[in-house]
Structure 1
Amino acid sequence: MTQAPATPRATRRQHDRAIVALAVPAFGALVAEPLFVLADSAIVGHLGTAQLAGLGVASALLTTAVSVFVFLAYATTAAVSRRLGAGDLQAAIRQGMDGIWLALLLGAAVIAVVLPLAPGIVDLFGASATAAPYATTYLRISSLGIPAMLGVLAATGVLRGLHDTRTPLYVAVGGFVANAGLNLALVYGAGLGIAGSAWGTVIAQCGMAAVYLAVVVRGARRHGASLRPDAAGIRASARAGVPLLVRTLSLRAIIMIATAVAARLGDADIAAHQITLSLWNLLAFALDAIAIAGQAIIGRYLGADDAEGAREACRRMIQWGIATGVVLGLLVVAARPLFLPLFTSDPVVQDVALPALLLVALSQPVCGIVFVLDGVLMGAGDGPYLAWAMVVTLAVFAPVALLVPALGGGLTAIWAAMALMMTVRMLTLWLRTRSGRWIVTGAAR
C-alpha cells in the first residue's frame, strides 16, 4: 500500500520537533560555557583586585582562543551530519575522529607558543605591573588545558553532527559544577591562590574531554571506525576549517573595532558599550542554538540526497529565526528599565546605553535571519562563501565605524553601524541561499 505524502503542516511539525530537540539542549550548553569564567571571577575576586585584574587579562586571551578555534565544532558538525544522512555511521565517526586529532595537534601548538611567551603576551594586552604576574601564572597553567578545551570543541561538533545535543549539555553542566568545586578547594582549601583557580579549570576541562572521548570511542568501537590518526583526514578537516577561521577572525575584528572606537569616545560610552555588548552576546546564544540545529539538520538532508528537504528545513528555520528575533527584541524593550540598573547606577551611562539597547532590540529579527542562514550554509559545508561574505562585511563596517568619532557620532552611531553590519551579513547570506548554489548533495561536499 502506497504511503500518502506528508502534508505541509505535518512537514512543518516534523521540522519544528527536530529544531526544538536540537536547539534547546544546545542553548543550555552554550549558556553553561561562560559560567566557567564567571565562577573563576567570583572566587578569585575575593583574593584581591590585582588577582582579579590578572584573571581578567588571562581569561580574555583564553576566551579569544576559544572563539578563534570554534571552527573545530562547526566544520566537524557539518561533515559528520552529511555522512549520517548518507547512512554511513562508521565514516561519520571516522570524520569526527579526524577533527578531534586536529584539535589535539592545534592545542599542542598553542601550548608551545604560550608557555614561553606568556609574559610578553600579557604585557602586550596592557596588564599593570601588579596584575601581570597573576595573569602570567593563570595563562601558563591554563594553557595546559587548551588541548582538552579544543578537543571538547571538536567532540561537541561530532555529537551535534550525530544529532545529539543532550550529551554536550550534560557535560557542560557537569564541567561547570566540577570547575566551581575544584576552584574553591584549590584556591582556598589548598591555599594555591590564582594558580589553584587555573589548575581547577584545567582539571575540569580535562575531565570534560575524557567524557567526550569515552562517548566517541564507544561509538567508534560499536560501528567499527578506526581511532588512529589519519593524515589525509586531518588535512581535510584543516582545509574545511580554514574558511571558517577567516570568517571568525573577521567577526572578531568587527567587535574589536567597535570596542576600540567606543573607548575613544569616553568612559561613559565605553561603559555603556560594554553593557550593550554583553546583552548582544547573551541574545546571540539563543539565536546560535537555532543555527546549531540548522547545521545538523541541513547536513543530514544533503547527505541523504534530499535537496528539497534541505530547502524546506531552511525555510522553516528562517521563520524560527525571525520569530525568535521578534520575541528577543520585545524582551529587550520590556526589560530595559530593569536591565540597566543591574550594571550601573550612573545615570549618564544609562542615558548613553538606552538608545543603543533600542537599536539592538530593533535589529534582533535581522540577527535571527543571519544566525539561521549562517548555520544553514555551515551545515552545507559552504565555508568559502561564508569567509568571503564576512570579509566583505568587515570591509563595509570598518570605515563606517572608524568615521564615527570624526563625524561627531556617539555610541548610538556605533551600534547603528553594528546594525548595518548585520544587515549586510543578512543580504550576502540571503543572496547565497536564494541562488541554491549551497545545495550540494552527497556524503561529502
Structure 2
Amino acid sequence: MPLTSPTGRDHDRQILRLAIPAFGALVAEPLFLLTDTVIVSHLPAPALGAVGVASTVLGALVALCVFLAYGTTAAVARQVGAGNTAQAVRQGGDGLWLAAAAGVVIIAVVWPLAPSLVALVGAEGELALQAVTYLRISLLGVPAMLLVLAGTGVLRGMQDTTTPLLVSVGSFALNALLNLLFVLGLGWGVAGSAWGTVLAQSLGAAVYLALVFGRYGAPVRPDLAGIRAAGTAGVALIIRTACLQVVLAVAATLATRMGEEQIEAHTIALRIWTLLAFALDAIAIAGQAITGRTLGAGDAEATREATRRMVVWGVGSGVVLGLLVVVARPFVPGVFDVSAQTAEHLLGPLLVVALLQPVAGVVFVLDGVLIGAGDQRYLAWAGLWTTLAYLPVALAVILSGGGLVALWLALGVWMGARFLALGLRARGRAWLVIGA
C-alpha cells in the first residue's frame, strides 16, 4: 500500500529530522581529527608530516569503501518502506559481514605494500619510517572502521540518524582522550596516536554490532548470497567514488605545478569547499533514507515530492553558504595566517567556491536521492562521463597557462556536468523503481 501522501511541511520535518543529526555526525569527524592533529603537533618533526602521509593513504582506502554506508542505507530503507523489517535487518547484517571481510582483505593487501605506498606519496627517510609505523598500526583498525560505515548505513536506513551522531561523538571524544594519554602521557609517539584511533574505532564498531545483531536481531550467521549481492551493488558506487577522487587528485596535481603559493591557496579553498559539503551532504543522507523508504512503500509520487523539497533545501542552503563565503572571503587569509602572495591567489578561487554552492546543493541532493533509489549503475556511468568532461578543460588550464581561478572554473564545469547528468535523470522515471 502506498503511503498517505504527506504535505510539504511533512516532508520538511522528515528532512530536518534526518539531516540535522547527520550534519552533526559529519562535522564531528573533522573537528576531532583536528584535535588529534594538535596533539601530534607537540611531537618532534617529522611526526605530524608522517601522520599526514599515512592519513592520505588511509583516506583514499576509506573513500573507496564509503559504499558500505551508502549502499546499506538504500537497501535497508527500501525494505523498511516495504514493511519487511526482518529482511531490512538481514540485509544490514550482510553489509556488516561484507565490511568485516573487506577490512581483512585490505590489511592483507596493504600491510606488505605500506613502504611502497608511503614512498608513492613522496615520503623518505625518517618521515617514511614513521609514516609506515602509523599506517600499519592503523590498518588493524580498518575492519572496525568499515564496520562503523556499514553500521551507520543500517541505522540511517532504519530512519535513525541520531544514534550514529551519538556513536560518532563518543568515538571521536574517546579517540582524543586516548591520544592525549598515549602520545603525551606515555610518550608512544605516532604509534600512540594510531593505537588510540584503533581502540576508539573498535569500540564504535562494537556498539553497531550490538545494535544490529542485538537490538534489531539480525541473524549472526553470514548469508553468502546476501554478502555477494551487497558487494555487487557496491561496485558501481566504488566507480562513482573513484571518479570523484580522480577529479580532486588531478586538481591538486595541477595546482602543485603552478607553484608553492598556489597549492597552499588551493588547499585552503578545497578545505572550505569540503566543510561546506558536509552541510549539503547532510541533506543528501536524508535523501538516501527517505527515497529508499518511499520507493519501498510503492509511493513514487511521494518520492518525487520529497525530491522536490530536498532540491529546494539544497538550493536554499547553497545560496546561504555561498553568501557566507562572500562575506568571510576577505578574512579567510588572516584566519589561516598565509603570506600576502598566497592570499592574493586565494581570493579568486573563494569567489568561485561561493558561486558554485547553489549548484553543489542540487548535485549533492540528487546524488543522495539516486543512491537511495538504488540507481548506482547510472551514477557510475555519470561519474565516468562527467570526469571525461572535466579532464580536457583541466588540461586546457595548464596548456593556456591559466591560474587557480581557471582551475576552479574547470571544477565548475565538472559540477555543471554533474548537475546536468543528475538533473536529467531525476526528471525521468527510470529510477523510480518501486517495491522491495
- C-alpha deviation, 1:36, in angstroms: 4.1
Aligned partner (choices 226, 229, 233) of residue 222 of structure 2? 229
Q: For residue 162 of structure 2, what is the aligned residue in structure 1?
A: 166
**1:93 touches 1:219 (CA, 8 Å); kept in 2?**
no
| Correspondence 1:59 to 2:52 | no
- C-alpha deviation, 1:128, in angstroms: 2.6
**1:94 touches 1:227 (CA, 8 Å); kept in 2?**
no
- C-alpha deviation, 1:180, in angstroms: 0.6
Q: For residue 102 of structure 2, what is the aligned residue in structure 1?
A: 106
Aligned partner (choices 423, 427, 435) of residue 428 of structure 2? 435
| Correspondence 1:139 to 2:132 | no
For 1:49, what is the secondary structure of its paired residue? coil
CA distance in 1, matches of 2:385, 2:85: 37
Please list, as runs of the form range in 1=range in 2, the aligned pairs for 1:246-395 lying within 5 A after superposition.
246-395=239-388
Aligned partner (choices 10, 21, 27) of residue 14 of structure 1? 10
Q: Which runs of 5+ in 2 are unaligned?
A: none
For residues 320-339 of structure 1, what are the alpha-carbon distances to aligned partners after superposition, in whole Å with 9 as ceiling and x for unaligned? 11000000000000111222
For residues 59-90 of structure 1, what are the alpha-carbon distances to aligned partners after superposition, in whole Å with 9 as ceiling and x for unaligned? 11111111110010000000000000001111
Amino acid at match of 1:315: R
CA distance in 2, matches of 1:250, 1:232: 28
| Correspondence 1:183 to 2:179 | yes
Aligned partner (choices 90, 93, 96) of residue 92 of structure 2? 96
- C-alpha deviation, 1:340, in angstroms: 2.2
- C-alpha deviation, 1:49, in angstroms: 2.0
Amino acid at match of 1:314: T
CA distance in 2, matches of 1:117, 1:373: 37
Aligned partner (choices 237, 242, 247) of residue 235 of structure 2? 242
Q: For residue 72 of structure 1, what is the aligned residue in structure 2?
A: 68
- C-alpha deviation, 1:40, in angstroms: 2.2
**1:98 touches 1:233 (CA, 8 Å); kept in 2?**
yes
| Correspondence 1:43 to 2:13 | no
Amino acid at match of 2:272: L
Amino acid at match of 1:63: G
**1:220 touches 1:227 (CA, 8 Å); kept in 2?**
no
For 2:398, what is the secondary structure of its paired residue? coil
- C-alpha deviation, 1:125, in angstroms: 1.2
**2:287 touches 2:369 (CA, 8 Å); kept in 1?**
yes
Do the aligned partners of residues 92 and 246 (structure 1) sit closer, same or farther apart at CA in structure 2, a change above 3 Å counting? same
- C-alpha deviation, 1:114, in angstroms: 2.0
Q: For residue 205 of structure 1, what is the aligned residue in structure 2?
A: 201
For residues 348-379 of structure 1, what are the alpha-carbon distances to aligned partners after superposition, in whole Å with 9 as ceiling and x for unaligned? 11111111100110111000000010011000
CA distance in 2, matches of 1:48, 1:56: 14
Amino acid at match of 1:186: F
For residues 159-193 of structure 1, what are the alpha-carbon distances to aligned partners after superposition, in whole Å with 9 as ceiling and x for unaligned? 00001000110011111110011011111222211
- C-alpha deviation, 1:381, in angstroms: 0.1
Amino acid at match of 1:178: L
Name the % identity.
58
Amino acid at match of 2:235: V
Q: How many residues align?
A: 433
- C-alpha deviation, 1:219, in angstroms: 3.0
Q: Which runs of 5+ in 1 are unaligned?
A: none
- C-alpha deviation, 1:105, in angstroms: 0.3
Amino acid at match of 1:382: D
Amino acid at match of 1:244: L
For 1:61, what is the secondary structure of its paired residue? helix
- C-alpha deviation, 1:54, in angstroms: 0.6
**2:50 touches 2:130 (CA, 8 Å); kept in 1?**
yes
| Correspondence 1:397 to 2:393 | no
Q: What root-mean-square deviation, in Å, do the aligned CA atoms of Structure 1 and Structure 2 show?
A: 1.1
- C-alpha deviation, 1:347, in angstroms: 1.4
Q: For residue 195 of structure 1, what is the aligned residue in structure 2?
A: 191
Do the aligned partners of residues 173 and 208 (structure 1) sit closer, same or farther apart at CA in structure 2, a change above 3 Å counting? same
Q: TM-score, normalised by structure 1?
A: 0.96
For residues 30-72 of structure 1, what are the alpha-carbon distances to aligned partners after superposition, in whole Å with 9 as ceiling and x for unaligned? 1112234322211111111211111110011111111110010
CA distance in 2, matches of 1:48, 1:405: 38
CA distance in 1, matches of 2:337, 2:287: 37
CA distance in 2, matches of 1:314, 1:73: 20
Per mean C-alpha deviation after superposition, the further-off stretch among 230-239 and 212-221 is 212-221
**2:297 touches 2:435 (CA, 8 Å); kept in 1?**
yes
Q: TM-score, normalised by structure 2?
A: 0.98
Q: For residue 406 of structure 2, what is the aligned residue in structure 1?
A: 413
CA distance in 2, matches of 1:369, 1:275: 23
Do the aligned partners of residues 341 and 278 (structure 1) sit closer, same or farther apart at CA in structure 2, a change above 3 Å counting? same
CA distance in 2, matches of 1:52, 1:102: 33
Aligned partner (choices 144, 147, 151) of residue 155 of structure 1? 151
Q: For residue 210 of structure 2, what is the aligned residue in structure 1?
A: 214
